[in-house]
């Protein structure tokens, strides 16, 4: 499904039909239909990323969900940094950022197990992210 072009968030870049690649979710069961980066809905001069959720996945029978998340780009990057810190912690690395706090030692085991159980979905994406980050000139 294509991300809407007529709503407040104005896509510039898009991954349409995201449901076909949404991790372990079955294309028919996921509500995430597109990912976009474009002008934010709260300020047209700001850029944001958005996950477009659809109530049914069928444009003729549903509508775009109000639960579609929109994040400023710096928060999207910060979430990736947090994930990298979590992965480093789970691997026993000592270079976890000081501001990243582990709140529940028992739940750490649950997260570690989840990541291990889903490594076939997560690791290729992380590898692709690393490849792209290494290619761009920062």
- 8 A C-beta contact, residue 11 and residue 36: yes
Tell me the pTM.
Answer: 0.83
Tens digit of pLDDT for each residue in 49-67? 999 988 876 777 778 888 8
What's the confidence (pLDDT) of residue 70? 92
Contacts of 88 (CB under 8 A, 6+ apart): 95, 96
What's the confidence (pLDDT) of residue 113? 95
What's the confidence (pLDDT) of residue 25? 72
Which residues in the chain land under pLDDT 70? 57
């Amino acid at each position: 499904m294509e991300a809407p072009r007529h709503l407040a968030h104005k896509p510039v870049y898009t991954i349409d039909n995201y449901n076909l690649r949404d991790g372990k979710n079955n294309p028919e069961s996921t509500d995430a239909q597109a990912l976009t980066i474009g002008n934010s809905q709260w300020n047209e001069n700001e850029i944001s990323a958005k996950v477009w959720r659809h109530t049914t996945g069928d444009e003729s029978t549903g509508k775009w969900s109000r639960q579609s998340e929109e994040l400023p780009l710096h928060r999207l990057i910060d979430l990736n940094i947090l994930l990298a810190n979590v992965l480093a912690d789970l691997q026993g690395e000592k270079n976890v950022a000081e501001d990243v706090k582990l709140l529940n030692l028992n739940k750490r085991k649950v997260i570690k197990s989840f990541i291990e159980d889903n490594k076939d979905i997560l690791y290729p994406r992380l590898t692709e992210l690393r490849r792209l980050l290494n290619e761009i000139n920062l």
